[in-house]
Chains A and B, each alone.
Chain A
Amino acid sequence: MTNKTEPETNRSAWSGPSRLRSAQGAVTALVLFGCALITIVTTFLILGVLGGETISFFRVSKIGLIEFFSGTEIDFKSARPRFGLPPLIWGTFVIAVGASLVALPIGLLSAIFLSEYAPERLRRVLKPTLELLAGIPTIVYGYLALTVITPWLQSVLAPLGIRVEQFNAFSGCVVVGIMIVPLVSSLSEDVLSAAPRSLREAGYALGATKFEVATRIVLPASFSGVAASFILAISRAIGETMAVVLAAGSLAQIKLNPFTSIETMTAYIVAVTNGEASYGSPEYLSLFAVGITLFFMTLCLNMLSGAVIRRYREATP
Chain B
Amino acid sequence: GLGRWAYADAATAGDALYDVPRFGNVSVLHMTDCHAQLKPIYFREPNVNLGVGAMKGKLPHLVGEQLLKAANIPPGSAEAHALTYLDFETAARRYGKVGGFAHLATLVKRLKASRPGALLLDGGDTWQGSATALWTKGQDMVDAAKLLGVDVMTGHWEFTLGMDRVKEIVAKDFAGKVDFIAQNVKTADFGDPVFKPYVIREMNGVPVAIIGQAFPYTPIANPRYMVKDWEFGIQDDNMQKMVDEARAKGAKLVLVLSHNGMDVDLKMASRVSGIDAILGGHTHDGMPVASIVANAGGKTIVTNAGSNGKFLGVLDFDVKNGKLADFRYRLLPVFANMLAADAAMDALITKIRAPYDARLAERLAVTEGTLYRRGNFNGSGDQLLLDALMDVQGAEIAFSPGFRWGTTLLPGQDITREWLMDMTATTYSYATVTPMTGETIKTVLEDVCDNLFNPDPYYQQGGDMVRVGGLEYACDPNAKMGSRIQDMRLNGKPIQASHTYKVAGWAPVAEEAAHAGNKPVWDVVEQWFKAQGGKVAARKVNVPRLIGAVPNAGYDA
- Answer whether A and B are interacting partners: no
